[in-house]
A = this chain, B = another copy of it.
């Protein structure tokens, strides 16, 4: 990793940093996932987002199963250097549930249905993931 980047960023005690992914065109927030140094390096080198899966304990290329990769347009860091904001061109959709953004449900405290689907569905997960 670029030594200036490694010195600046603050990875947590597990060696991870949260990465917010935002659509570079529409500005929708698509997802948040975690990166370790290797994931960030691969993201910068390949121009496609890579993350570290805490549940599977391994690196993954976003879109490796679905083809829904994210082409990196810019990488920003916050004031504390402990969160990344990655702007991308999204192929297909970000969410494995078939929605364009993972944040497709809004909490409505006063409604009968408290989690209202507000996102747009782009694909059928059964078809894509089999």
Pairwise interchain contact B107-A79, C-beta atoms closer than 8 A = no
Task: Give the CA-CA distance A83 to B104 in the complex, in Å.
Answer: 12
Least Cβ distance of A90 to chain B in Å? 15
Task: Give the CA-CA distance A44 to B114 in the complex, in Å.
Answer: 13
A28 CB–B CB distance under 8 Å = yes
Selected contact of A102 from candidates B2, B18, B78, CB within 8 Å: B78
Selected contact of A20 from candidates B29, B97, B107, B118, CB within 8 Å: B29
Q: What is the interface of chain A mostly: helix, strand, loop, or mixed?
A: mixed
Q: How many residues on the A side are at the interface (Cβ–Cβ under 8 A)?
A: 37
- Beyond the given pairs A22-B29, A76-B104, 12 more chain A to chain B contacts, judged by CB atoms under 8 angstroms and listed by A's residue number, are A2-B114, A5-B114, A18-B18, A27-B27, A31-B78, A32-B32, A32-B78, A44-B109, A74-B106, A77-B103, A77-B105, A79-B104
Binding site for B on A (CB under 8 A): 2, 4-5, 8, 18, 20, 22, 26-29, 31-32, 44, 74-80, 83, 85, 95-97, 99, 102-107, 109, 114-115, 118
